[in-house]
A and B are shown apart, each in its own frame.
Chain A
Amino acid sequence: MYTYTDFDAAFVAERNRQFRAQVERRIDGSLTEDEFKPLRLMNGLYLQLHAYMLRVAIPYGTLSSRQMDQLAYLAEKWDKGYGHFTTRQNIQYNWPELRDVPDMLDALGEVQMHAIQTSGNTIRNVTADHFAGAAADEVADPRPVAELVRQWSTDHPEFQSMPRKFKVAVTGAENDRAVIRAHDIGLRIVERDGVIGYEVLVGGGLGRTPMIGKVIHDFLPEEDLLPYLESVVSVWNQIGRRDNKYKARIKITVHEVGLDEIRRLVEERFALVKPLFTGVDQDHFASIKAQFEAPDFVQKSVGPFNQAYNDDPVFRAWADTNLTAHRAEGYSIVSISLKAHGATPGDATAEQMRVMADLARQYGHDELRISHEQNVILPHVHRADLPAIHAKLKEHGLATANINLISDIIACPGMDYCALATARSIPIAQEIATRFDDLKLEHDIGELKIKISGCINACGHHHVGHIGILGLDRAGVENYQITLGGDHTQTAAIGERAGPGFSAEAIVPAIERLVEAYLEHRTEKSETFLQTYRRTGMAPFKAALYPESKAVAAE
């Protein structure tokens, strides 16, 4: 696992010391809120509806057991005993008091963690596939690439004041689990005739103007990565719009200028930039890769797994939904659902965090991951140990067998916590999950991704949900707009708006009608909701949502 260099450790310690002094000066009145606010945001401290919120970064979503234990300690000592894992691969504490935050940051520093949000109009934390280094379908581990890009972009003088923030995501597999098509730049590691290169996508993003990233280079040689990225960012830095915050992201530049023209400009720029890279970055890349070496996989019989799989239907159901193929023989990737029916998506109690940390320590080569879908992953588990793991998870409410099913919902905090929200998201997620659990339908429905945001900022990724739900404030009442057909994977698509929104009371029955329409129209059980939607189009779903055409006419 990547460990801090002395430079990183000293940097974080110094930042914490400065922030402690800033908090003191805010409390004694020598700093006004206007002066303090940018400082606290830089350190991951937000003010929400009911309290402060501290957002802690989990780079590439990778954690050791010790780090997870420390997150539990923070939850217990300074929060209300839980933490909220988010789609951005970080954890949020919803109830800290201002005076305690410097101590929380020091406690995080002890385990090489921080809340520095690298905020502002810079290149943000690079995200990667949460199955990195474990997935059977992986060409190469994307995390060294993410770390290389992070180091190159941190404090890069040319990129400290760009038109807007800039986000990069990397995957090493054909199956995109890092939502690379919704990032300013998405990178996919590809192999051609035994040679590694990158497919480069540009101009994706969600929020107010959702766009799917487009391929600007289909096979970039490995050694050209940094000069090419530098060229893309630099072209955008020159022609990107600074006049309007909502038009400043590169997605708008690509949309307005056209992909071919951007590609031409980037190549022109690349010819100048490339000679400046002497290959030092490639030597350095090799040393980063060494930090992400795979653990020593063990070989043993998978007998205990087979026996439990045959004998225990509850274990079997869990194994069928929550395991993913691992690249090492005898191993599996375990997804631990933080979506128990009726619970808040992404929340884990301190006790649950400790249980997961212990399991990783005992059976999982000391590694955990946080997925953007708000679940926790044990990336390296031998199948022989799965029955013991499952039994332990069950004792602590962590064995829900629903990964990728209708109750595995992404939901942002919405108006239960977020000061920017226009409606709630969490209760909608809770009700949908509870309802379909009661109906005992979710395994029959199969893969179905519902994603809910409480405002247009789209933290809950609703545009790329098979069913997306956006909470709005319509004349002082919560109103929920449905989009259909979104997809966050390698076949990414932005969902289409289905029609007028629904009240908080009407939204769950509306989802139920959608699902009934799907069950009625699918050709066979293996045709997923998304496939059915792509085949039939909006019409049958629209008819189900708005059974009385009058309702449609009244829009």
Chain B
Amino acid sequence: MPKPYTPKVVTANHLLAGDVIYQTRDGWSRQLADAEVLTDEAHADLRLIEAAQQTGEVVGAYLADVDTSRGAPAPAHFREAFRAKGPSNYAHGKQTELN
């Protein structure tokens, strides 16, 4: 039996602003909840290649595990949780900018 594939999203930093972005079906979003959840390995690899080709907009695209047990994708690892939220010492970054 092949190992079940952990759902993933494609994430990167925005070239100009440097902040964290997530690939959606038709572009990019600053919110993880909007991201396209990838459950098939071959498709995920393809989406990553497509993302990495957009060098004029994004930097350092990679696949990050997500937790979909409550519907919308949520970070599976604490590093991704910080990327999705911002630093813990100041209310800077996404935790204030997205509201």
Contacts and interface: CB of A to CB of B under 8 A. Distances in A.
A416 B89 contact: yes
A389 B42 CA distance: 65
A97 B20 CA distance: 13
A399 interface: no
A29 B19 contact: no
B83 A50 contact: yes
Interface string B72-92: 000011110011001111101
A341 to B, nearest CB: 14
A27 B94 CA distance: 24
A98 B88 contact: no
Chain B interface size, under 10 / 10 to 19 / 20 to 34 / 35 or more:
20 to 34
Contact of A27 (B16, B20, B78, B89): B16
Nearest to B13: A47
B66 interface: no
Interface string A348-377: 000000000000000000000000000000
> Which of A33, A95, A430 has the most chain B CB within a 10 Å cutoff?
A33
A242 interface: no
Contact of B18 (A28, A98, A344, A426): A98
Interface string A95-111: 11111000000000000
Interface residues of A, number: 31
Interface string A167-201: 00000000000000000000000000000000000
B16 A49 contact: no
A49 B88 contact: no
Contact of B92 (A95, A415, A478): A95
B7 interface: no
A48 B15 CA distance: 12
Contact of A51 (B17, B76, B77, B90): B17
Contact of A417 (B16, B19, B77, B87): B87
A52 B20 CA distance: 11
> Which of A27, A49, A478 has the most chain B CB within a 10 Å cutoff?
A49
Nearest to B86: A50
A49 B20 contact: yes
Given A415-B79, A476-B77, A47 B89 contact: no
Contacts of A99: 16
A99 B18 CA distance: 10
B82 A49 contact: yes
B15 A98 contact: yes
B60 A416 contact: no
Given A27-B15, A47-B60, A415 B82 contact: yes
A235 B84 CA distance: 48
A32 interface: yes
Interface string A108-142: 00000000000000000000000000000000000
Contacts of B16: 27, 97-99
9 contacts: A32-B55, A47-B18, A49-B83, A50-B87, A52-B18, A97-B18, A344-B89, A416-B87, A416-B88
Interface of B: 13, 15-20, 55-56, 59-60, 76-79, 82-83, 86-90, 92-94
Interface of A: 26-29, 32-33, 47-52, 80, 95-99, 344, 415-417, 421, 424, 426-427, 430, 473, 476-478
Given A49-B20, A476-B77, 18 more contacts: A29-B55, A33-B15, A33-B55, A33-B59, A48-B18, A49-B83, A50-B20, A50-B86, A50-B87, A80-B90, A80-B92, A97-B16, A98-B18, A416-B82, A416-B87, A417-B87, A477-B78, A478-B78
Ranked 4 nearest A-B pairs via Cβ? A416-B87, A52-B18, A51-B18, A29-B56
